[in-house]
Structure formats: C-alpha cells, structure tokens
Amino acid sequence: LAVKDPTAVERANLLNMAKLSIKGLIESALSFGRTLDSDYPPLQQFFVVMEHCLKHGLKVRKSFLSYNKTIWGPLELVEKLYPEAEEIAASVRDLPGLKTPLGRARAWLRLALMQKKMADYLRCLIIQRDLLSEFYEYHALMMEEEGAVIVGLLVGLNVIDANLCVKGEDLDSQVGVIDFSVYLKSDDDIGGKERNVQIAAILDQKNYVEELNRQLNSTVSSLHARVDSLEKSNTKLIEELAIAKNNIIKLQEENHQLRSENTLILMKTQHHLEVSKVDVEAELQTYKHSRQGLDEMYTEARRQLREEAQLRQDMENELVVQVSMKHEIELAMKLLEKDIHEKQDTLIGLRQQLDEVKAINVEMYQKLQVSEDAMKEKNEIISRLEDKTNQINATMKQLEQRLQQAEKAQMEAEAEDEKLKQEYVNKSESLQSEFSQKEKQLLQLETDLKIEKEWRQTLEDDLQKEKETVSHLRTETQEIVTLKKEFLKLQEKNKQLKSICEDQEAALQELASKLSESKLKIEDIKEANKALQGQVWLKDKEATHCKLCEKEFSLSKRKHHCRNCGEIFCNACSDNELPLPSSPKPVRVCDSCHAILIQRCSSNVP
C-alpha cells in the first residue's frame, strides 16, 4: 500500500473543515434571519477553523526570548498589496487591549468579515507566493491549491451581515479548539435538504444582485466624470471660437492698413535707393584714397617695429650680463663681509678681490653709459610711435564714422527690400526686373562693405599689437630704470665697503705694530716671572692701601691684583694698558712684572 503524505492529509482535513464551517455558518445565519454577534457559536467556530488554516505550515521565527509562530506577519502584508486594507491594519494597531500578534490577527479577521472583503484580501496574498514563502513552508495550505479553494468558499460569506465588537473582547487569551459535534449529521438535517437548496438559490441571486450593483455604481461614477469633462471642454471651445472670430476681424483690418502702407513705402524706397547709390559711390572713392595712405603707414610701422625688436634683443642681452655681474658683486660682497672678521692671513685675498671689484665696476660704468644712450634713443622712438598712433586713431575714427553711416543706410535699404520682396512677389514683370537689378547692386555694395570691414579689423588688430609692443617697451624701460637705481645703490655700498676695508687695513696695521710691541713686553714679563717665582699673594684683608700711591682702597679706587707677583694696585696707579687680539678692549698690566691685572672688590665695600 502506498503511504500518503501527512501534510497532504492535513491540508485535505482542513479544507473539509473549512467547507463544513462555512456551509454551517451560511445556513444558520439565513435561518437566524438577522445580523450576527460575536457570541454566535457557528461564527466562533469559523474563526477557529480559519486560524488553523492560516497556521498550517508557518515557519518558526526566532525572537529574543523564545521561538515565535504567529499569523500576523502574512496578514500584515495585505496593506502593502491591497491599499483598501490600510484602514483595517491601522485600526488593529490602535486597539488598546491587544498585546500579542495573535490577538491582532484575530481582530483583523473579524474586521475583514464585517467589511465583506476577507476573500479579496486573502486572494491578494495567495497570488504573491514569493512573499508568502518568507512566512510559510512549501507544503503549507496557503501555498497549495487548497488555499485557493478556501478563498473561493469565502466569497459566499458576503451574504452574511455581521456586527462584531472587537474593542472589549479578550482576543489574546482565547483558546482555539474545533468543536466537531456541531458538524455531525442528524435526522433533522437529512429532512431539510430541500430547504437548503432553496436557500442556496436565494443566496446566489443575492450575490448576483450585489455584484450588478457594484458594476452599475462604477459605470455611473465614470459616466459622471466624463460628462463633467465634456462640459468643461465644450465651454472652453466656445470661448476659443469667439476669440478666434475677433482675431480674424482684427487681422483683416490690419491687412488693409498694411497694404496701404506698403504702397507708400514702395515710393519712398525707390527714392532712397537712388540717393544711397550716389552716396555709396562717393564714399567708395574716398575710402580708396584713404586706404592707400593707411597701407603706407602700416609698412612704416612694421619697419619701425622690426628695428625696435632688434634693439630689444640687444637690451635683453645687456640686461642678462648686468644681472650676472650683479650676482657676482653680491657674492663678492658676502665674501668680503666674512673675510673682514678673519685674521691677517685673509688680507691678501681681500686685496685681490678688491682689485677685481674695481675692474668690474669700471666695466659696469661703461655699460651703464651705453645703456643710457640706448634708452634715450628708445624714448625718442616711443615718442615718434605715439604721435603716429594718435594720427592712425584719428583716421580710424573718421573711417568708423563713415562706415557706420554706410551700414545704417545699408540696413535701412535691406529692411525695406525684404518687406518689398515678401509682399509684392506676385506683381508685374517690370517691377521684378527692376528689383533684380537693384538686388545685384545691393550685393555689390555688400561685398564692398564686407571688404571694408575686413580691412578695418586687420588695421585694428595691427594697432592693438603696436599698443602692446609700446606698453611692453615702457615696462622694459621701467625695469631698466629700477636696475639703474639698484646699480647706484650697489655703487654706494661698494664705496662704503671700500672705506670700511681701508679703515680695517689701517686698524690691522696698528694692531700688527701693537702686537709686535706686546710680544716684546710678554717676553719681558716671562723673564720677570721666572725671577719672581716663589712669591705669595697678599690676602684681601691685609691689602688695604695701594702699593704705589699708598692710598686706601674705596669705590672710586678699586683693587687690581697681579696674577704673577701678587701685588695689589689701585685703578689710578695701574694705567699701563696692553692691546690683545683676543679681546676688544686693552688689558691693564702690572708696573713691576708686566703681568695682566685682575680687578677685585675692595675690602671696605660690602
């Protein structure tokens, strides 16, 4: 024997129970003959059966405390799929007494039954099986064909009118147990089959009438909307028709006026064309004469620019040489400043560098004179160029005025010709021939004017280039002036350094003479020291008077102690000073042994 799938058996049992509960509910409701309350037993059994059907094959979801298995998750999806279910979901969430998801699901089923849309909501869920697969196993009742059958059976519940109070009920703690005794057959049920057939026929008629009413309501609303839109469009079309008629009348009047004006314009244009032709011929002759003069001026300006470019290159080369010489001078100055503080060995190098600097200064002075002469020549050339540019600007202004007048006349003639062409195409052959001749003349004039504009643009470009070169030369002259100032400053610094070097050479010579004297004195001191070896220094307390002047030491007469012989003198008696190369000030020397004296505090002064 083939073993049956237990899940298929469960689905079949639940389907049979749903059929029995729905059938029993409809029959009892029709026999009851009024709206059903929440205490009605067949209605309670129906909700219990629906819970079991929706719970079949639910996936277990993990929570923080335990595993959760509720039907509120799939029912909550309905509001996303069916917008009319948003009211039910919002009202279920706002109910104060509900705490568990199962209680919210029970309240949702009751509200959907009262709306008579339970079948519609569950049908949306069954269609979207991809979303249901998140909540149900693949073998669940809602994922198989039995679910579609139950949804079809739920359509028959639209016959029932239910009035359920969800707010006060304790839906969280209800126990869902199916009472099978209700569905067992009895003798009375067998005898009442005919009555059930009649009831079923009445129910079918009721359902048919309700569906017809729904369709008729929808068609009536759509027809009302169409009628409103047609009325609005009709009124708009009537208004637009009236406006269009008024516009046609105005356009006809304007057409008559324009025709009359066109005839006057024709006469005026003919007169203007004759006058403009004479003026243009005269202006062309004057322009040819002025053009020859401008060509000559342009050639002279180009030649002068070439000469200035050559002069500029020469000046740049001289500037490069001057800059290099400037750097060399700066380096020499730095070396001189360092070498001044060194000893006698560096004096020979300083003298050689001074000779080189003198030679460089002579060369720089000669080059400066040459650059000054070149600057004078350039200033004269710049003044000549400015005079010529002023003359060219004046001639250009005159030419621009003449060109503007010619362009104005041409524009007026072109505008009048275009109007005449558009409005009098269909006129006689004589007028057409005249217009063709005039058009040829206008084309010739336009070409002449274009050539004049091109020449004008080229002349303007050349003038701009000349102005740029003049400005560039001015900047170069300013740079040369600044370089000249810097060179003068460097000459002054050079003179100062020369004077400092001469002073230092004199000082070094004096130092050399003093050093030779000090060396002789040091040799004498050494000889005296050898003789005075073994003598003992006097103590500060014992030395109260100077050895030479025999006066008492005080603030004005300070002690000076000899390192070598140990004798103590006052500052008035120890006037012998010896210059040393290591110290900037001269040093006091002992009168007897010529050793260096040390200044000490007097014993009388605290």
Q: Which CATH class is domain 560-602?
A: alpha beta
Q: What is the pLDDT of residue 591?
A: 61
Q: Report the pLDDT averaged over residues 242-269.
A: 88
Q: Please state the rounded mean pLDDT for residues 423-438.
A: 71
Integer Cα distance of 375 and 277 in angstroms: 54
pLDDT of residue 399: 79
Helices (H), 341-428: 347-423
The predicted pLDDT at position 262 comes to 84
pLDDT at 600: 47
pLDDT at res. 461? 87
Q: Is the pLDDT of residue 536 over 60?
A: no
pLDDT in the model for residue 361: 81
Which two three-digit tokens encode residue 543?
């030395």
What lies within 8 Å, CB to CB, of 561 at 6+ separation is 537, 567, 568, 597, 598, 599, 600
Query: What tokens were used for 527?
Result: 């000889």
Structure tokens at 585: 């000030």
| More confident site: 541 or 438 | 438
Phi and psi for 162 in degrees, rounded to 5? Answer: -120, 140
Which residue did the predictor score with more confidence, 152 or 185?
152
By the 10 Å C-beta count (0-12 exposed, 13-18 middle, 19+ buried), 151 is classed as buried
Does the pLDDT value for residue 606 go beyond 50?
no
Q: How far is CA 60 from CA 49, 428, 551, in A?
A: 20, 99, 121
- pTM score, two decimals? 0.35
Say what the pLDDT of residue 283 is: 80
CA 65 to chain CA centroid, nearest Å = 52
Amino acid letter, residue 48: V
Where are the domains positioned within the chain? Answer: 1-185, 560-602
* For range 553-575, the mean pLDDT: 67
Task: State residue 186's pLDDT score.
Answer: 53
Instruction: Say how far apart CA 101 and CA 51 lie, in whole Å.
Output: 13
Report how far residue 150's alpha carbon sits from residue 16's, in angstroms, rounded to the nearest whole number: 10
pLDDT at 371 over 50: yes
Tell me the pLDDT tens digit for each residue of 433-445: 777 788 888 888 8
pLDDT (tens digit per residue) in 496-517 = 888 888 888 888 888 888 888 8
Q: Mark 331-365 as b/e (b = at least 16 C-beta within 10 Å).
A: ebbeebeebeeeeeeebeebeebbeebeeebeebe
Residues 347, 87: Cα–Cα separation, whole Å: 109
With 60 as the cut, is the pLDDT of residue 577 above it? no
The pLDDT score that the predictor gives to residue 149 is 92
The predicted structure's pLDDT at residue 238? 92
Query: Among candidates 459, 473, 477, 476, which has minimal Cα distance to 301?
Result: 459
- For the stretch 22-52, pLDDT in tens is 888 888 888 776 678 778 888 888 989 898 9
Predicted local distance difference test score (pLDDT) of residue 85: 87
Percent pLDDT > 70 in the chain is 81
**Confidence at residue 67, expressed as pLDDT on a 0 to 100 scale:** 46
> What is the topology classification, in CATH, of domain 1-185?
Methane Monooxygenase Hydroxylase; Chain G, domain 1 (1.20.58)
Query: Which has the closest alpha carbon to 122: 85, 160, 70, 174?
Result: 85
Residue-level pLDDT at 491: 86
Per-residue pLDDT tens over the stretch 181-200 = 666 655 555 555 666 667 67
Distance, in Å, from the CA atom of 301 to the CA atom of 294, rounded to the nearest integer, reads 10
Please state, rounded to an integer, the average pLDDT across all residues of the chain.
80
Per-residue pLDDT at 581: 47
Q: What's the rounded mean pLDDT across residues 557-570?
A: 67
For residue 123, what pLDDT is reported?
A: 92
Band (pLDDT 50/70/90 cuts) for residue 315 is confident
Section 392-397 average pLDDT: 81
Helices 101-115 + 41-55 axis angle, to 10: 120
Supply the angle between the helices 347-423 and 193-340 in degrees, to the nearest 10: 140
Q: Could you give the CA distance from residue 113 to residue 121 in angstroms, rounded to a whole number?
A: 10
Q: How many helices (H) and strands (E) does the chain have?
A: 13, 7
Residue 604 has what pLDDT?
Answer: 37
pLDDT in tens, 79-90: 888 888 888 889
Looking at residue 566, what is its pLDDT? 63
Per-residue CA distances from 369 to 243, 475, 488 (Å): 91, 20, 13
Ranges 331-335, 355-359, 569-573: which has the least confidence: 569-573
- Return the amino acid letter for 502: E
Mean pLDDT, to the nearest integer, of 214-235? 88
Amino acid at 498: K
SS3 of the chain: helix, strand, coil, percent, to 5: 75, 5, 20
Residue of 51, 46, 15 lying closest to 179 (CA atoms):
46
| Residue 591: how many other CB atoms lie within 10 Å | 16
| pLDDT of 411 above 70 | yes
User: Between these two residues, 420 and 149, which has the higher pLDDT value?
Assistant: 149
